[in-house]
């Protein structure tokens, strides 16, 4: 079960990372 | 009662998130966007930063930091390492690909003979990273020997991070690394990474050499297995929990990075010597029988969370072993016998045939010392065998586990081949055991 949790956690971290890279790239529009 | 394991896990997860997201956080909060700059160029840069931060964290995950591994279990940490590595690889790969999509002229950077030095470093890092990922994912398919792979995995990943950091510092100095906060964070990461390298490659091996062990006996067991018993050369005893494992370096020094993980099979109540029973399954394990008393062995451990000691509230235990998977369970049984622990135990032990049942005679002796029922299942039983035959099935489990065993305080420990474990975990859950009651540890990591 912990394997599945670890995998899901990595997916969430990756999605958050993509979101933050987009925020950084378009920060002139965001802020 | 405070669940310290949960708190420790939460703290480690928070630290992981902090390490991964601090660089991008500083980029977002501490840098100014250029009005004429393509935002997708910044997107590409940020992908690279995220990928490198994820890569750098890998060194901490695999550095055998005991406080990190204990709350999760070594196998979960290695599984996590694998998953994060794939994510890091994809982020790093996406960094140049995005550049090429923005402007095809960037493709010239791939020509490392003509491109600037920073690009040479970046491209080389990506090439080495591709080699790392392919060799790790397909090691068995390509039949790359474990020891050879392990050494090169260490060398290549170190090269990847070193080259990527050089790429960052060279290319970034005129842009984002000109910001003191960004520069400081990456200098900090570089320093932490170098310290971690010094610790794992120099200090830790030196510690293992100082605390080396000597072979006391080498004994043949049933099932093409050999038990080696080791004694410390210092006054420091090897304190461990029954069911844990250690990394052994045999024939070479710890600097060679050629260690192998094995379960401890002896009782935790006798830390003055430790035993490992190792089945002859390949190139390295076939050399165990050639070991001699007095030979030096370097022991890194104990590691792992596969132990009855994590569940002091347990009222009863179900142990399920397949072949040589009996070794950590044997450690638990021996320890229970030494502790005069009378909690009820059911041992399901699956083997190919009766002659290859490792510890057969000793298990029969333990039957008299413990409150235990042993259920042997044999794939090729001898004539006149009145026990269970074939693989372990749900109906066999049900036959021997009466209603009183299906309670919250029964803990199940499972060790054997991956295929068997996958099936038995499902069977246990079908029998209404909660997944939290089922404990296992996988050694088939790479």
Other C-beta atoms closer than 10 Å to the C-beta of B30 total 13
Other C-beta atoms closer than 10 Å to the C-beta of B207 total 13
Residues 6+ apart with CB under 8 A from B299: B208, B211, B212, B213, B230, B238, B246, B247, B248, B274
Which residue in B176, B33, B41 sits closest to A27, CA to CA?
A: B33
Q: Tell me the pLDDT tens digit for each residue of B103-130.
A: 988 898 888 888 999 999 999 999 999 9
Residue percentage of chain B with pLDDT more than 70:
98
pLDDT of amino acid A1: 54
Among A20, A26, A29, A30, most B C-beta atoms within 10 A, so best to mutate, is A20
Between the CA of residue B254 and those of B25, B34, B151, B260, what are the distances in Å? Answer: 39, 51, 12, 11
Q: Chain-wide mean pLDDT for chain B?
A: 91
Inter-residue contact B405 to B391 (CB < 8 Å):
no
- pLDDT higher than threshold 50 for residue B1: no
B435 contact A CB<8A = yes
pLDDT of amino acid B62: 83
DSSP structure class, residue B201 = I
Cα–Cα distance for residue pair B307/B331, rounded to 1 Å: 9
pLDDT of amino acid A31: 67
Residues 6+ apart with CB under 8 A from B10: none
- pLDDT higher than threshold 90 for residue B405: no
Kind of pairing, strands B213-221 and B296-303? antiparallel
pLDDT of amino acid B3: 59
CA closest to B80 among chain A residues: A6
- pLDDT higher than threshold 60 for residue B13: yes
Q: How far apart are the first and last CA of chain B?
A: 38
- Per-residue pLDDT band at B63 (split at 50, 70, 90): confident
Stretch 1-20 of chain B: residues touching chain A, C-beta under 8 Å: 13, 17, 20
A3 contact B CB<8A = yes
CA closest to B71 among chain A residues: A2
- pLDDT higher than threshold 80 for residue B151: yes
Q: Tell me the pLDDT tens digit for each residue of B81-111.
A: 999 999 999 999 999 999 999 998 889 888 8
Residue segments in chain A with a per-residue pLDDT below the cut of 50 = none
Q: What's the rounded mean pLDDT across residues B304-320?
A: 92
Q: Tell me the pLDDT tens digit for each residue of B418-428.
A: 899 999 999 99
Q: Tell me the pLDDT tens digit for each residue of B360-382.
A: 999 999 999 999 999 999 999 99
Order of strands, edge to edge, in the sheet holding B260-263? B260-263, B245-250, B296-303, B213-221, B225-232, B274-279
Length of chain B: 446
Answering whether pTM is above 0.90, one says no
pLDDT of amino acid B48: 94
CB-CB under 8 Å, A24 with B28: yes
CB-CB under 8 Å, A24 with B46: yes
Residues 6+ apart with CB under 8 A from B47: A21, B91, B92, B94, B95, B98
pLDDT of amino acid B258: 80
CB-CB under 8 Å, A20 with B50: yes
pLDDT of amino acid B444: 55
Q: What's the rounded mean pLDDT across residues B267-275?
A: 96
The phi, psi pair for B345, rounded to 5°, reads -135, 140
Range list of H helices, B250-359: 326-339
Q: What's the rounded mean pLDDT across residues B269-280?
A: 95
DSSP secondary structure string for all residues of B345-413 = EEEEEEESSGGG-TTHHHHHHHHHHSSEEEEEEESSPPTT--SEESS--HHHHHHH--GGGSSTTEEEE
- Can you say how many angstroms the Cα of residue B296 is from the centroid of all Cα atoms in its chain? 24
Range list of H helices, B138-215: 146-172, 180-198, 204-210
Cα–Cα distance for residue pair B92/B440, rounded to 1 Å: 33
More confident residue, A29 or B21: B21
pLDDT of amino acid B277: 96
- pLDDT higher than threshold 60 for residue B250: yes
Positive or negative: CA dihedral B185, B187, B191, B196? positive
CA closest to B13 among chain A residues: A9
């Amino acid at each position: 079960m912990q394997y599945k949790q670890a995998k899901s956690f990595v997916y969430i971290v990756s999605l958050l990372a993509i979101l933050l890279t987009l925020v950084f790239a378009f920060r002139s529009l965001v802020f | 009662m405070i669940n310290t394991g949960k708190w420790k896990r939460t703290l480690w997860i928070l630290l992981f998130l902090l390490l991964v997201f601090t660089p991008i956080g500083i980029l977002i909060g501490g840098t100014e966007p250029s009005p004429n700059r393509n935002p997708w160029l910044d997107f590409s840069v940020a992908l690279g930063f995220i990928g490198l931060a994820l890569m750098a964290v890998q060194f901490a995950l695999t550095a055998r930091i005991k406080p990190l591994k204990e709350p999760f279990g070594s196998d979960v940490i290695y599984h996590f390492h694998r998953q994060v590595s794939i994510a890091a690889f994809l982020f790093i790969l996406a960094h140049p690909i995005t550049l090429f999509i923005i402007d095809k002229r960037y493709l010239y950077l791939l020509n490392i003979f003509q491109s600037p030095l920073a690009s040479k470093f970046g491209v080389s890092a990506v090439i080495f990273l591709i080699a790392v990922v392919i060799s790790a994912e397909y090691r068995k398919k390509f039949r790359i020997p474990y020891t050879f792979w392990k050494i090169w995995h260490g060398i290549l990943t170190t090269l990847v991070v070193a080259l990527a950091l050089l790429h960052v510092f060279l290319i970034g100095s005129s842009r984002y690394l000109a910001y003191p906060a960004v520069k400081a964070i990456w200098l900090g990461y570089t320093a932490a990474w170098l310290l971690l390298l010094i610790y794992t490659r120099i200090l830790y091996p030196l510690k293992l050499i100082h605390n080396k062990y000597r072979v006391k006996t080498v004994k043949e067991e049933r099932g093409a297995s050999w038990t080696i018993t080791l004694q410390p050369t210092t006054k420091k005893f090897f304190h461990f929990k029954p069911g844990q494992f250690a990394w052994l370096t045999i024939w070479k020094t710890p600097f060679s990075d050629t260690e192998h993980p094995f379960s401890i099979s002896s009782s935790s109540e006798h830390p003055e010597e430790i035993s490992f029973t190792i089945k002859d399954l390949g190139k390295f394990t076939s050399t165990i029988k050639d070991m001699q008393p007095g030979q030096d062995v370097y022991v890194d451990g104990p590691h792992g969370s596969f132990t009855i000691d994590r569940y002091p509230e347990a009222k009863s235990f179900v142990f399920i072993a397949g072949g040589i998977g009996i070794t950590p369970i044997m450690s638990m049984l021996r320890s229970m016998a030494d502790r005069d622990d009378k909690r009820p135990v059911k041992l399901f032990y699956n083997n190919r045939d009766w002659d290859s049942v490792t510890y057969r005679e000793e298990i029969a002796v333990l039957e008299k010392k413990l409150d235990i029922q042993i259920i042997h299942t044999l794939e090729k039983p001898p004539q006149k065998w009145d026990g269970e035959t074939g693989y372990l099935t749900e109906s066999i489990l049900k036959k021997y586990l009466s209603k009183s065993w299906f309670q919250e305080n029964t803990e199940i420990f499972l060790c054997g081949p991956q295929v068997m474990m996958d099936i038995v975990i499902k069977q246990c859950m079908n029998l209404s055991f909660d997944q939290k009651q089922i404990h296992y540890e996988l050694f088939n990591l790479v």
